[in-house]
Amino acid sequence: MALKPEPVPGSNLPAVISQPRDLVEPIVVANTLWQSSNPIAYNGGQASDITHLREFEASGEGRRDNARWAGPLEIIPTKADIVLDLIRANSLWPLLSGLACCAIEMMSAATSKNDMDRWGMFPFRASPRQADVLIVAGTCTTKMAGPLVRLWEQMPEPKWCVAMGDCTCSGGRYKRSYSTIQGIDRIMPVDVYVPGCPPRPEGLIYGMMKLQQLIKDRRGHWPERAIGPTVPEDL
């Protein structure tokens, strides 16, 4: 980002940079329901200054968190990171989100015959807040693109994305359609592509094992990715 943040009086956060484009009116909901015993906790019950993810990205604040241990642990050599990566790679929790045909094969990969749980990738979470991996299974249409990016942004870091099927890799057999996104990497970063229409469950498991290798090798997108929007501006 070329924009330079400025401090705001009364706030410990950098200023919000106004974009040249029209932003949606932010929703600011003040907490009136409960109070913490610590008066300065949770920003004193006040609404956060950050009201929009695009503004947050412009502030550069999110760039600091690269999901590594911080504080006194920074002096421990990178061995600690390796241990942390091993833990992350062996308990991947995918988001239970199926869009179309590939979702059936994704379910098949999770059930008895091809048991993904054996490699530590089973517990499909229905809430994005609890998920590590977004397996985009099936054709993503323009109408579904907004909710899907929203799901992706609701997932906490570190997070990874697996594009399952030809439709999400490149558009596949619906490449020429007027209503589909030609490749999910136009709207969100992708770590592993699993081609096939649809790929066999073994193919998905192979892709997830590749993702585990990526995490262990630290070649995933996430170390240099910031918290915040990852949507291209000109979509």
Candidates 92, 136, 145, 192: give the one binding other proteins (CB under 8 A).
Answer: 145
Tell whether residue 223 is a contact of other proteins (CB under 8 A): no
Could you tell me the smallest distance in angstroms from the CB atom of residue 68 to other proteins? Answer: 28
72/232 with CB nearer other proteins? 232
User: Residue 152: which H helix or E strand, with range?
Assistant: helix 142-154
Decide if 120 contacts 92 (C-beta within 8 A). yes
Quick check: 118 binds other proteins (CB under 8 A)? no
Nearer to other proteins, 97 or 212 (CB): 97
CA-atom Rg of the chain in angstroms: 20
Residue 66 vs 108, nearer CB to other proteins: 108
User: Does 84 contact other proteins by CB under 8 A?
Assistant: no
Which of 196, 146, 147 lies closest to 168, judged by CA? 196
Closer Cβ to other proteins, 152 or 215, answer by number: 152
Rounded to whole angstroms, the Cα distance separating 218 from 225 reads: 12
Between 66 and 230, whose beta carbon lies closer to other proteins?
A: 230
Residue 39 CA to chain centroid, in angstroms?
A: 32
**DSSP three-state, residue 141:** strand
Nearer to other proteins by Cβ, of 15 and 53: the residue is 53
Question: Is residue 149 part of the contact set for other proteins (CB under 8 A)?
Answer: yes
Asked if 168 is part of the footprint of other proteins (rule: CB under 8 A), the reply reads: no
Tell me how far apart the alpha carbons of residues 37 and 159 are, in angstroms, rounded to a whole number.
33
- The partner residues of 19 in beta bridges, in order of sequence, read none
The number of beta carbons lying within 10 Å of the beta carbon of residue 57 is: 19
- Token digits of residue 39: 């008066």
Dmax over CA atoms of the chain, in Å, equals: 60
Q: How far is the CB of 201 from other proteins (least distance, A)?
A: 8
Chain residues binding other proteins by CB under 8 A are 24-27, 52-53, 96-101, 103-105, 107-108, 111-113, 126, 138-139, 141-151, 153, 173-174, 176-180, 187, 197-198, 200, 229, 231, 235
